[in-house]
Structures are given as structure tokens and as C-alpha cells.
Amino acid sequence: MRRAGTFAVAAFMSTALVGAPAAQASDKGLVKIVVRHEKRVSPLAKAWAKADKALETATDTNAASSATGKFRDGLHSFKIALTPIKTDTATAAAAKKKMLTAIREFDLGLVQYQKLLDKVNAGADKASLKSTFVTLNKRIDAAGDDEADAIKLLKKL
């Protein structure tokens, strides 16, 4: 199905954010929230990618469906924590916007992924769903790019 784990990229990058030079209080709060939630969401993304890869040999989609739900819950928690943060600089505002866009795109991709799992469970042929998977992969990749861009901006703070 889909092999991804782009939030795992952020786990590596979030370590670099901790040593960033001092920024204004709100911008510092944004960095702290991102670092904290990246650490929480990265294992969920890895578990989702692992469950997705296991679909090739799995007899059912239960593990992938469960991992998808947990990943979505983690993203929702991230969004709830990130949304009220007020930023002081344009760079921080741009980073926040990019991160929220990444979260939204990941979530929309995961909703689409779950719908595809449901179709597979209903007996749809995997080959007939290929074009939808291509679209889904593009969305997940774009979300990963937005996330990476947000991390780069946060490093500048």
C-alpha cells in the first residue's frame, strides 16, 4: 500500500530545534510545542508505516486501521496544542502555518487511506484502487515536504 514515515524525519530534526538560539517568548513556545509533539507523533507515524508495509502479507487490515486511527489522534492532539500559540515573528508565523498545513494534509491523507482500507475490506480489487493510492501518496509526500519546510523555518528562530 503506502510506505511513508515523514514525521520520522522531524524526529531527527526536532533534536536540532532544542539548541536553537533564544527567540521571543511566543516563538520559543511554538518551538517547544513542536518538539514535544514531534516526539509523540513520530512513533505513531513509524507504527503506521510499519502496519502499512505489513498489509502486503496480512490477512486483514485491522492493524493498519488501528495504526491509522492512533496516528490521526496524535495529529489531532498536535493541532490542538499548536493552534492557540501566538507568534511574534513572521518566520515563526510561517513555520506554524506550514506545520498546520502538514498536519491537515496528513490527516486528510489518512482519512483517504482508511476509506481505501474499507474498500479493500468490502472486496474491492487492489488494482482498481491504484490511482487513488497514487493520489494519496502525493498528498502524504506533500505533507512531509510542508513539515520539513516548517522545521527549517523553526531552526531559524
pLDDT value of residue 84: 94
Q: Map grid coordinates 493541532 to a residue.
A: 79
DSSP 64-101: HHHHHHHHHHHHHHHHHHHTT---SSHHHHHHHHHHHH
The phi-psi region of residue 87 (left if phi > 0; otherwise alpha if psi is between -120 and 50; otherwise beta) is: beta
120, 61 Cβ separation under 8 angstroms: yes
Report if pTM > 0.75.
yes
What is the full per-residue pLDDT of the chain (157 aa) written as tens digits?
554 445 544 443 444 454 444 444 589 999 999 999 999 999 999 999 999 999 889 889 999 999 999 999 999 999 999 999 999 999 999 999 999 999 999 999 999 999 999 998 999 887 888 888 899 999 999 999 999 999 999 999 8
